Structure 1
Amino acid sequence: MAEEIDFQEQEERELFEHLRIEAPKGQALLRLDKFLMNRVENTSRNRIQNAIDAESVLVNGKIVKASYKIKPLDVVTMVLPDPPRDTEVYPENIPLHILYEDDDVLLVNKEAGMVVHPGYNNYTGTLVNALTYHLNQLPTLPGNTGRPGLVHRIDKDTSGLLVIAKNEWAMTFLAKQFFDHTITRKYVALVWGDLKNDGTISGYIGRNMKDRRIMDIYDDEERGKWSVTHYKVLERMGYVTLIECELETGRTHQIRAHMKSIGHPLFSDESYGGDKILKGTVFNKYKQFVQNCFELLPRQALHAKSLGFVHPKTKQAVAFEVPLPQDFQLALDKWRSYSTTDELS
């Protein structure tokens, strides 16, 4: 199962750009390594070669070899992983909402705003820091450095359920289920627009070519990894729709990117354009109503509602569910009231 952990770590690793060079219109064909030697100050050929070998240099958003010939208007970016840092995870006494715990697994209802594991700009205050305090030891597998006990994750501003492995056997057993897509994961989301029917969204999900902090859906398998989300309508409220999403795969930002790709981004999702008024009237009272909803729910309207898996010790199917958190519920109640009365509270 080391392969699956490596796969998740590579997919979820936060990347950020340190250097961006656009080749001029008159650029002659030139090897990438030589092009960078001519353009990057205070560096060495060895350092550039290492960066290329580490796949930290992209041309037009794609990984290339040092022998790649730079052409006019090619965009070269040097994208580096998190800066070097002590990889030890330090325990912190942070309260956790533990839904269930036994000798093998622990179910946590994560609050919105909590980062799951340490990473760039978030080395403290994470779920893993809290778990390290509350448990004597968390298991790790090859490729899972800095993420002890984790076999999956949810975004910082997504609330809801996470299962944590408390020993190596449980971690291996659960990771296999995620790899085989036999874990049942259901999310509740509030999206912009009037969704008429239930449906399925699929495609290859990969980093956006211009902003690597967000994801896009592609038709080309070389651009990303296969992803599938099934959704069904729970409630229509005119300008927004409450849906349930069931994940067949678990890619970074999968639901957020999928819903945007069909023109229904998540309500209040800043990264994917849902923090703007996308549907509705032009009246000031309506604009103020939506703004009030944004203030009640200042993050994407996404909640990991339920999680089902086969228990590593009993081999029996278990299922857990948590209600919507207060911020999501308050915004939802206001939309319900508005959609049924057409009056702003």
Structure 2
Amino acid sequence: MHEEKEDILDGQNEPEEGEMFEHYKLLVDPGQNLLRVDKYLVNRIDNASRSRIQAAADAGNILVNKKSVKSNYKVKPGDEVSIVMDYPRRELKIVPEDIPLNIVYEDDQLVVINKQAGLVVHPGHGNYTGTLVNGLAYYFKDLPLFNSADPRPGLVHRIDKNTSGLMVVAKTELAKNKLSMQFFEKTTKREYVAMVWGVPKEPEGTIEGNIGRSQKDRQVFTVYLEGEHGKTAVTHYKLLEDLGYVSLVACRLETGRTHQIRVHMKYIGHPLFNDDTYGGDQVLRGTTFSKYKQFVMNCFKILPRQALHAKTLGFVHPVTGKEMLFDSELTSDFQGAIDKWRDYISNRNLE
């Protein structure tokens, strides 16, 4: 049996982006007898319960030779079987907490939330309470999906603690599986706005480079040469506004790796403004005058986090099939820093 596993979730960090599911691809052995695909998968994937396999089948997430099949399909030698499913439950009790949620859309299948900066998405090392999931467990306390020991109920993607912006959360197993498939197949639309140090030479472009954990510091990520380490990552950027020593860029994600935008922008020489993990919390462009340095420090105080906002989110509704597209305003701290830089540049031009 030949098996490949794509496991994009990494519980050691709270990633800025990252799909909340796992993907398996298996090639059926030449000597395999006819067998229902659900039984075949249960026998070959660790922790793959019948219910998880069935939920994936119901959502159309079991493919044989790249075509969706029902759970009663019988595999035969040479079949290529793939499945996308959510992660198994983990023994971590979620305590419902009345945490304010900025809900911009809700129906019986999903909810779209505009997450505030500073809010961790789900419980993990060092953050067992006060997370978005704790707030969701309280808000959805009567829904089956949120009445379990799963630390990631309804999550199909996530954004970093100190990044603000739009997230979609599933309210049913069907929605969770169908949305997960869209993130896996890269059919969702996700655009971020970032303030970065410097101004890219090319007004728009594509950044490609594998992203993986740094071998020097496991808490940060870095770009590796293709095939060396890490996983494929692609970011498309476009210059929105030149603010002298910093600039505003729009970043469209083709993949959703951990810290992808932050790592890719640093890789091309433009770290995110006030990103203390990737060096953006230093004065990287500008003059040596103390007055200028004080101005930058004041901007850091206005925006005490990396300058990144998940502005646009688009996907196909898991039940109606309708195209859904959401847009959000920049947060007040982000907008405040932009206004400060605009004033600085306009006053400098008058001198």
TM-score (norm 1): 0.75
Equivalent AA in structure 2 for residue 125 of structure 1: G
**1:7: Cα distance to partner?**
1.9
CA RMSD, Structure 1 to Structure 2 (Å): 2.2
Unaligned 5+ runs, structure 2: 15-89
Equivalent AA in structure 2 for residue 341 of structure 1: N
Aligned-partner Cα distance in 1 for 2:328–2:176 = 23
Aligned-partner Cα distance in 2 for 1:307–1:206 = 25
1:189 aligns with 2:184: no
Q: In the alignment, what sits opposite 2:94?
A: 89
Measured against aligned partners, the alpha-carbon deviations of 1:51-101 in whole angstroms (never above 9, x if no partner) come to xxxxxxxxxxxxxxxxxxxxxxxxxxxxxxxxxx95121100111100000
Call closer, same or farther: CA 1:339–1:12 in 2, change over 3 Å. farther
1:267 aligns with 2:266: no
**1:4: Cα distance to partner?**
12
Aligned-partner Cα distance in 1 for 2:253–2:5 = 18
Q: In the alignment, what sits opposite 1:173?
A: 178
1:324 aligns with 2:324: no
Q: Give the one of 299, 304, 307 matched to 1:301.
A: 307
**1:194: Cα distance to partner?**
1.5
Measured against aligned partners, the alpha-carbon deviations of 1:265-308 in whole angstroms (never above 9, x if no partner) come to 00000000000000000001100000000000010000000100
Q: In the alignment, what sits opposite 1:255?
A: 261
Measured against aligned partners, the alpha-carbon deviations of 1:315-338 in whole angstroms (never above 9, x if no partner) come to 011100110001000001000111
**1:6: Cα distance to partner?**
7.4
Aligned-partner Cα distance in 1 for 2:156–2:125 = 20
Q: In the alignment, what sits opposite 1:206?
A: 212
Call closer, same or farther: CA 1:240–1:234 in 2, change over 3 Å. same
Q: In the alignment, what sits opposite 1:342?
A: 348
Q: Give the one of 85, 104, 109 matched to 2:109.
A: 104
Call closer, same or farther: CA 1:162–1:105 in 2, change over 3 Å. same
Call closer, same or farther: CA 1:282–1:155 in 2, change over 3 Å. same
Q: Give the one of 133, 140, 156 matched to 1:128.
A: 133
Q: Is the 8 A contact 1:190 1:266 kept in 2?
A: yes
1:113 aligns with 2:128: no
Aligned residues: 269
Aligned-partner Cα distance in 2 for 1:174–1:195 = 34
Aligned-partner Cα distance in 1 for 2:214–2:251 = 23
For residue 232 of structure 2, give the secondary structure of its aligned residue in structure 1. Answer: strand
For residue 147 of structure 1, give the secondary structure of its aligned residue in structure 2. Answer: coil
Aligned-partner Cα distance in 2 for 1:220–1:184 = 25
Call closer, same or farther: CA 1:329–1:229 in 2, change over 3 Å. same
**1:14: Cα distance to partner?**
2.9
For residue 145 of structure 2, give the secondary structure of its aligned residue in structure 1. Answer: coil
Call closer, same or farther: CA 1:227–1:96 in 2, change over 3 Å. same
Aligned-partner Cα distance in 2 for 1:129–1:333 = 34
**1:8: Cα distance to partner?**
3.1
Equivalent AA in structure 1 for residue 8 of structure 2: Q
Aligned-partner Cα distance in 2 for 1:245–1:117 = 24
Aligned-partner Cα distance in 1 for 2:12–2:185 = 22
TM-score (norm 2): 0.73
Call closer, same or farther: CA 1:204–1:138 in 2, change over 3 Å. farther
Q: Is the 8 A contact 2:94 2:150 kept in 1?
A: no
Equivalent AA in structure 2 for residue 275 of structure 1: D
Aligned-partner Cα distance in 1 for 2:5–2:165 = 22
Residues 58-77 of structure 1 mapped to structure 2, 5 A cutoff: none
For residue 342 of structure 1, give the secondary structure of its aligned residue in structure 2. Answer: helix
Measured against aligned partners, the alpha-carbon deviations of 1:110-150 in whole angstroms (never above 9, x if no partner) come to 0000000000010000000000000023638xxx9411100
Aligned-partner Cα distance in 2 for 1:186–1:177 = 16
Call closer, same or farther: CA 1:293–1:330 in 2, change over 3 Å. same
Q: Give the one of 281, 287, 294 matched to 2:287.
A: 281
Q: Is the 8 A contact 1:108 1:163 kept in 2?
A: yes
